[in-house]
Structure 1
Amino acid sequence: MYTDTSWRRSAAGWLAAASLGVAAVVLLSGCPADPVPSSRAVPLQPRELFFVNTLAETVGLYQPDTDRLVANAFPVGSMPNDIAWHDGRIFVVNSGDNSVTVYDQGSFDQLGEIYLGTGRNPYSIAIAADHGAAYVANFMHNSLSVIDLTSLTQITEVLHSSLQTPQDVAVYQDFVLVSSTAYQTAASFGPGSVTAFLVSDDGLTYAASFVTGDNSNPQTMLVVPERGEVHVALTGIQSADDGEVVVLDLTELPDGIEELHRLDTGGSPSIRTASWHQGEEVFYLSGTKGILSYHFDGDAYAVLHDSADPVLPPGGSMSFYSGVAVDESRDMLLITDFPADSLMLLARQGYHVVDEKRVSDGPLAPLLVE
């Protein structure tokens, strides 16, 4: 079942820190304001931004080159949490339904539904095209589901002692990486970790782990394959301003994982898959303290905008950013604001707001496909 722990920040979520909460937001927001089309209502474009509307239980679509928005592009399952793309297909993780649903990008027709099992609370997904598989972190079951990309079926479920309320999953070469929050209560976490599994013809085998620290709450990961690194957002505990990013060296796998850098960003940071401006090597974080950033200066990583001086501060006490994607072609950031039900377009030059578009209920996890 879906719980308040299913957020891109600390388990039990930012809304648990407010006096309202998810149920209150549902009551205020209700159902999608516009009818949800049963098929694609706008022509396919070469570049498209997708995001899940967690409370509306739809996927939204924004086409940057035509500035066209479809707030509710097509319906999905219960409490969608994450989205991925591969080979013209859109994969949506439905936390409430314990499933992954797959859609054709050109028509939005549903191609399949993969049921993962009762009580899994799937949270995030990563595609390994070279291995013909998708990997799903099951938050409440301490497991990792493996989905075959051809048959769209679950072929196995991995259980390992290192998986403790796993939240994010990523792929690096022949390894699958899983971040575990070690959730205990809203204000208490055990030793968080990142675990690597080796992909082989025999399935997944444990390779190595790195402990990120007590109460570190590692939320999401971003692999930088050119440097053999994974960047892990450490959200910390609820109501604290203790966010960090730890940069881990993956080049010695399967022998081990080593820490290269640790950056104090403050806030409650979360890294989204597309939140890296590759040309300038600037990384962007979203969270309750606004949009934060850091960069590689040629020798090491350095924070550019921390929680005391964010790129973009939150819009108010009930506002937080639930994802950021980089549009390098237009030199813009595309940012989802969960409580405000909005998509913000932010120019990177001067970081000024170009537009703020009303979307649907609870936008999350923007993914730019190009």
Structure 2
Amino acid sequence: MKTNMMKWSKLFALAVLYFSFAACNQSDDSVVYENPLQAYDNGIFMLNEGNFGTPNASVSFISNDLLTFQDNIFFVVNPTKVLGDVAQSMGFYNEKAYIVVNTSNKIEIVNRHSFATLGTITDGLALPRYVVALNGKIYVTNSSNNTVTVYDADTFAKLATIAINKTVEKIVAVNGKIYVMNASFGTGSEITVINPATNTVTATLQVGDGLNSIEAKGNTLYALSGADSASKLVKINTQNDQITGTVTFPATLVNARNMDIDGEVVYFTKGNGVYRMGINDTTVSDTSIFTVPDNDFSTFYGFAAINGRIYVSDAKGFVNKSAVTIYSSAGTVLSQKTTGIGTNGFYPNN
């Protein structure tokens, strides 16, 4: 089986090659875009990061009933604005959606219902990665200087910079605290805990090599580590930041990735297979729900489990638009769509 390091080494090498490919341009006269929908509610935003070094990031939308699909909605609604270079992630607070645009060093804010632009944040950002909202503020991880920057969620004013001094990646708010994953590209084993009242680091949690996913359910934080040696799911009580349980996966499921929790089920991927376990299970089956064609690093470039469905994207090596497939929880194909370049995430807007 391929190791994480092998896969990410290929990703780095291919990223250089992709500079030579022409990206799909949002102003291409050969493309006819529909009028904006009346509202982008009761559906899923699909974030398309675009080609690295080219400002062709975009957002697609599909309704929950899978009947309505619209591509490049940021441009459709805001034709005079460019989303930017590498749309990394999205977050929400009240009526606003925050789109983190990594290489452009900005956050575009839109109304989550109409997708009309509301403003842009640039102050203090240094290759931003992920965003989370808590108590009227948004917290953003910055990969080039290992900080978390804090902004007013309504005025967009910069309020503080928190030095973490180690890798910062995914970020979660739970039980009145902020948790930052200190791992990326298959390397790292720690989670930093931040007190948002003082903007100070209060704890560092060791959860296991190959940390790649964190997610909250209730007051429990779940962390998936998938290394070459072993994969495991760690459960953390956010009342006292103590590890309360660890589930070690079978040896056949090393390098597990892409954890997502839907209801009482934990989903994850390994290789080109999708797997699941109950949120309170103490063992894990190595029988996959379904598999997808293996397309090197761009397999499962985006993955999410939302309301009984599983959303999967194949980035097609970044030389073509992504192919998104929506499955039932049993692995039946429900819909397939062609989205933008490099679809990397799925965000429900209900």
TM-score, normalising length from structure 1?
A: 0.78
Offset of 1:84 from its aligned partner?
Answer: 1.4
Offset of 1:155 from its aligned partner?
Answer: 1.1
- The answer for the alignment partner of 2:205 in structure 1 is 210
Q: Within 2, Cα distance between the matches of 1:37 and 1:148? A: 37
Sequence identity percentage = 14
Match of 1:310 among 288, 310, 314: 288
Q: Within 2, Cα distance between the matches of 1:257 and 1:364? A: 31
Match of 1:155 among 137, 159, 166: 159
- Where does 1:1-370 land on structure 2 (aligned, <5 Å)? 14=7, 16-17=9-10, 21-25=14-18, 27-28=20-21, 30-32=23-25, 41-55=36-50, 56-75=56-75, 76-117=83-124, 120-128=126-134, 131-161=135-165, 164-181=166-183, 189=187, 192-200=189-197, 203-213=198-208, 216-225=209-218, 228-236=219-227, 240=228, 242-252=230-240, 256-264=241-249, 265-271=253-259, 275-278=260-263, 281-286=264-269, 288-297=271-280, 300-304=281-285, 306=286, 309-318=287-296, 319-328=298-307, 331-339=308-316, 341-348=322-329, 350-370=330-350
Q: Secondary structure at the match of 1:81?
A: strand
Offset of 1:363 from its aligned partner?
Answer: 0.2
Task: Judge conservation of contact 1:224–1:230 (CA < 8 Å) in 2.
Answer: yes
Q: Secondary structure at the match of 1:21?
A: helix
Task: Judge conservation of contact 1:91–1:102 (CA < 8 Å) in 2.
Answer: yes
Q: Within 1, Cα distance between the matches of 2:170 and 2:112? A: 24
Offset of 1:101 from its aligned partner?
Answer: 1.2
Q: Secondary structure at the match of 1:74?
A: helix
Q: Within 2, Cα distance between the matches of 1:92 and 1:310? A: 33
Task: Judge conservation of contact 2:162–2:200 (CA < 8 Å) in 1.
Answer: no
Give per-residue Cα distances to partners, 1:39-88, cap 9 Å, x unaligned. Answer: 96222153121121111411111112252222221152211111112222
Relative distance call for 1:230 and 1:104 in structure 2 (3 A) is: same
Offset of 1:27 from its aligned partner?
Answer: 4.5
Q: Secondary structure at the match of 1:167?
A: coil
Q: Secondary structure at the match of 2:17?
A: helix
Gaps of 5+ in 1: 1-8
Q: Within 1, Cα distance between the matches of 2:93 and 2:300? A: 25
Offset of 1:33 from its aligned partner?
Answer: 7.4
Q: Secondary structure at the match of 1:65?
A: coil
Give per-residue Cα distances to partners, 1:90-144, cap 9 Å, x unaligned. Answer: 11111102221101233322211111436x221111111xx10111111221111
Q: Secondary structure at the match of 2:73?
A: strand
Q: Which amino acid in the other structure matches residue 262 of structure 1?
A: V
Relative distance call for 1:26 and 1:241 in structure 2 (3 A) is: farther
Q: Which amino acid in the other structure matches residue 302 of structure 1?
A: T
Q: Which amino acid in the other structure matches residue 64 of structure 1?
A: N
Q: Secondary structure at the match of 1:17?
A: helix
Task: Judge conservation of contact 1:39–1:74 (CA < 8 Å) in 2.
Answer: no
Relative distance call for 1:353 and 1:209 in structure 2 (3 A) is: same
Q: Within 1, Cα distance between the matches of 2:247 and 2:22? A: 39
Task: Judge conservation of contact 1:179–1:194 (CA < 8 Å) in 2.
Answer: yes
Task: Judge conservation of contact 1:133–1:147 (CA < 8 Å) in 2.
Answer: yes
Q: Within 2, Cα distance between the matches of 1:18 and 1:124? A: 20
Q: Which amino acid in the other structure matches residue 229 of structure 1?
A: T
Q: Secondary structure at the match of 2:170?
A: strand
Q: Secondary structure at the match of 1:302?
A: coil
Task: Judge conservation of contact 2:40–2:115 (CA < 8 Å) in 1.
Answer: no
Relative distance call for 1:269 and 1:322 in structure 2 (3 A) is: same
Relative distance call for 1:15 and 1:27 in structure 2 (3 A) is: farther
Q: Within 1, Cα distance between the matches of 2:235 and 2:333? A: 30
Give per-residue Cα distances to partners, 1:332-358, cap 9 Å, x unaligned. Answer: 22222233711111012x312222211
Q: Within 1, Cα distance between the matches of 2:341 and 2:180? A: 29
Q: Which amino acid in the other structure matches residue 292 of structure 1?
A: Y
More divergent stretch after superposition (47-56 vs 360-369)? 47-56
Q: Which amino acid in the other structure matches residue 289 of structure 2?
A: V
The alignment of Structure 1 onto Structure 2 pairs a total of residues equal to 326
TM-score, normalising length from structure 2?
A: 0.82
Task: Judge conservation of contact 1:234–1:245 (CA < 8 Å) in 2.
Answer: yes
Q: Which amino acid in the other structure matches residue 344 of structure 2?
A: L
